[in-house]
Chain A
Amino acid sequence: MCLAIPGQIKTFDKAKRYAMVAVAGVQRQVNVDLLRGESLSIGDWILIHVGFAMSKISAEQADEQMKLLEMLGEADEALDEVKGYSFGEDP
């Protein structure tokens, strides 16, 4: 549960506390409150951990992180996790 999942921001909610994020074709809402100190925009990449964005990263780092998850055999698990987030609104 230490490894984080890379996702790209597609939209924000009104208060900018939640973002619709795409992870390998799957879209789910995640909480972005922990990055309130950062300037977040649509198209930015983030690392997601248990439904929360934990860091803003570059597109290269996102690609690298997804490949790492694949190599560690955790890519399916990561996708299941994102698909399993049930707290947000549907895309």
Chain B
Amino acid sequence: MKFVDEFRDGHFIKKAAAEIERLADSSKQYRIMEVCGGHTHSIYRYGLKDLLPKNIDLVHGPGCPVCVLPMGRVDDGLTIARDSGAIFTAFGDMMRVPGSQGSPLEHKARGMDIRMVYSPLDALKLAEKNPDKEVFFFAIGFETTAPSTALTLMSAKELGIENFSVFSNHVTIIPALRAILDSPDMRIDGFIGPGHVSTVIGCRPYEFVAKDYNKPVVVSGFEPLDLMQSIIMILTQLNAKEAKVENQYGRVVPWDGNLAALRVLGEVMELRPYFEWRGLGFISQSALRLSRAYEKWDAEVKYGVPGVRVTDPKAAQCGEVLKGVLKPSECKLFGKECNPEHPIGALMVSSEGACAAQYQYGYMVEDLDILEDV
């Protein structure tokens, strides 16, 4: 297990930190975005920010599925399930996400039939076991998760289970990246590309970032040394005035992605003309809905969508944090009215949310073993 041990070894982290220090031009300020919420969690957990020179700023990206979900969609899902009498099912991450009238968990406490599932297949099984009930699955996630929902729908069709419906909130990462790149208040020098999303879509879809915007993208693993190495690769490109897509996580991510998963997605889902993202607004062709062949299982067709638009609580600055304009601790509510026990915004709910990660780990980096070796 030498490979694994090396990743745990402070010695290699120390060498990587020294290399980053050497590559970073002290007269410049660098802003590198880690797109994926899993990376954000890793960065805080390992205290990586403290190992970087002060002129390298890591900006948290939009890759946290519950964080980018507008409150109105949470309300819509809960309203459909309540009015239709369906059993509401969702992943654990969704359960504490606040809607304007409370989270799914709070609705459960008020008597709604709300159940947490670990897989969309669990929700389908529930429908199979309860043929006299409707089962509603609140689907969230990027391309990592969408193929699982799609395959579950194929199973529903194959098994003829029609008391099952999916409320799709699946989003796609590429249009969100483009929106960030086009945003006038954003200046990002390079991107740490998402690891597991890329197992599905591969590395090619990021090529526009390099070609059209002249920014490096390095698809990265989740280990501290993976992330440090990815930063080295980005700085090396910047110093050479290059912009290309590189794959640091080649041991898991194939360059062309998972073609079987992409085929399944293409059969069951299609792009929406536009979708609202918290913090980023409406982005065209940035989300997936069920294709016509699956409309029998599409909750939006089966029940109609109230389409409620809800603005975030005034004082909460989730949007600015999601865009990387503000750091979590710069939000007026951070750690005060908004905390993991009483989250006001979804970024404080999920372990992949920047606010939850900073709250949990932001003040304890000195306790990390990894720093003792450095």
Taking Cβ atoms with an 8 Å cutoff, the residues of A that contact B are 1-4, 31, 33-37, 47, 49-52, 54-55, 57-58, 60-61, 63-64, 67-68, 71-74, 80-82, 84-88
Contact = CB atoms under 8 A, between A and B. Distances in A.
26 contacts: A1-B65, A2-B36, A2-B144, A3-B38, A4-B196, A34-B148, A34-B151, A34-B260, A37-B258, A37-B260, A49-B148, A49-B196, A50-B145, A51-B120, A51-B121, A54-B199, A57-B251, A63-B1, A64-B223, A68-B223, A71-B46, A84-B118, A85-B118, A85-B119, A86-B125, A87-B119
Contact of B124 (A35, A47, A60, A87): A87
B7 interface: yes
A63 B2 CA distance: 11
B3 A64 contact: yes
B104 to A, nearest CB: 15
Contacts of A61: 251-252
Contacts of B350: 1
Given A68-B223, A71-B45, A54 B121 contact: no
Contacts of B223: 64, 68
Contact of B352 (A2, A37, A58): A2
Interface of B: 1, 3-4, 7-8, 36-38, 41-42, 45-46, 63, 65, 91, 93, 117-122, 124-125, 141, 144-145, 147-148, 151, 194-197, 199-200, 222-223, 251-252, 258-261, 264, 350-352
A57 B252 CA distance: 7
A1 B91 contact: yes
Contacts of B264: 33-34
Nearest to B261: A34
Nearest to A61: B251
A49 B199 CA distance: 12
Contact of A60 (B4, B37, B38, B118): B4
Contacts, number: 120
B199 A3 contact: no
Contacts of A34: 147-148, 151, 258, 260-261, 264
A3 B222 contact: yes
A2 B38 contact: yes
A64 B259 contact: no
B148 A50 contact: yes
A49 B125 contact: no
Contacts of B151: 31, 33-34, 52
A85 B63 CA distance: 25
A72 B47 CA distance: 12
B4 A74 contact: no
A12 to B, nearest CB: 17
Contacts of B261: 34, 54
Given A54-B199, A55-B252, A72-B42, A85 B7 contact: no
B45 A49 contact: no
B3 A60 contact: yes
A2 B64 CA distance: 8
Contacts of A52: 119, 147-148, 151
A1 B118 CA distance: 10
